[in-house]
Structure 1
């Protein structure tokens, strides 16, 4: 199936956020209907699982492939959502951002320790930077992911479900966008050069 660039963007956005949007919409619906927070969260988990499954299916049918991050996120939503429903324990859903961000952060740090740049493998075609730039960007993202994991733990353990749901989506997305924009000066500093800039001299 041949799609215009605009349609491809819509499909990819649906794959990225379809499950989370369904989750948020269902949670708000049940809360407005007077359902208690804990039960609304459980009911919204059904929407998360269904929405994630549909989003992955649509993405694969339309494009015959799914990018790594949306695929990992969608499968994780199906896995943790299914566990939550099976055991009827919303804590399993709440720890998903902790687990996933910890895995991402440690994977990036592990790549750096092995003198690899896993972030470059994922983004290298769209951004041209020397290895030093990729190392710094990878370290920044690794620390950010670990910080998100810690923040998620703090929020779900200390705040009511209403707050955690808002933090989960769109809160984490907003923080990620802000952080990514904050990395633009670093990428501009190193972009389109074959060598890193000279070290600063005091």
Structure 2
């Protein structure tokens, strides 16, 4: 098992958030262009997607090298990006990459939901060491986060099917992550009474 190493928090944020931001700016630069590769014409969105995959893999590789560890969520997200990025390029169809977000959020909601049906919090299994909290608090947070992921999955479907690609890229890059972060911060504040005191 690889030894977990400390890493500068700012550098960690750059490696995690850098690739999505890079995709956003690459898309803005290429969105009005078309490219012929191997005799096939690709839109700027498709090319931005193709470039995003190695950027994300490089960032994850550096993160793994520096920390000695990748979370299950990071590994799953990387797989989804590679798979749907590949489908997007192979079929020359941007819908595959847009659907990826729906499936990622939907998968997280389904996994948490399966745990809830079993009377368990899979969220606690992943985060318990970083966030000491009593079982009751974990179950409440898991139910709420399960619902949140389901809402985000539905929201992504509505956005990409009814709105422009420009708007989807902006909401995908900024809207959904900010909404999820705000939701989590609100939940942690509301669930303070369930937190374990390490000094007791």
User: What's the TM-score, normalizing by structure 2?
Assistant: 0.86
The 1:27/1:101 distance shift into structure 2, 3 A limit, reads same
2:180 aligned with 1:176: yes
CA-CA distance at 1:11 after TM superposition: 4.2
| Among candidates 99, 103, 106, match of residue 99 of structure 1 | 103
The answer for unaligned runs of 5 or more in structure 1 is 194-202
Q: Give the distance between the partners of 2:118 and 2:65, measured in 1 at CA.
A: 37
Q: Give the distance between the partners of 2:76 and 2:14, measured in 1 at CA.
A: 15
- Aligned pairs for 1:1-202 (under 5 A) are 5-6=7-8, 9-31=9-31, 34-35=32-33, 39-192=43-196
CA-CA distance at 1:170 after TM superposition: 1.3
Aligned residue number for residue 38 of structure 2: none
**1:44-82: CA deviation from partner (whole Å, max 9, x where unpaired):** 101211211111221222222212222222221111111
Cα RMSD of the aligned pairs, angstroms, is 2.2
- Between the two proteins, the alignment pairs up a number of residues equal to 189
Q: Give the distance between the partners of 2:82 and 2:15, measured in 1 at CA.
A: 13
CA-CA distance at 1:91 after TM superposition: 0.4
Q: Report runs of 4+ in structure 1 exceeding 3 Å deviation.
A: 1-5
Residue 69 of structure 2 aligns to a residue whose secondary structure is coil
The 1:127/1:63 distance shift into structure 2, 3 A limit, reads closer
The answer for unaligned runs of 5 or more in structure 2 is 35-41
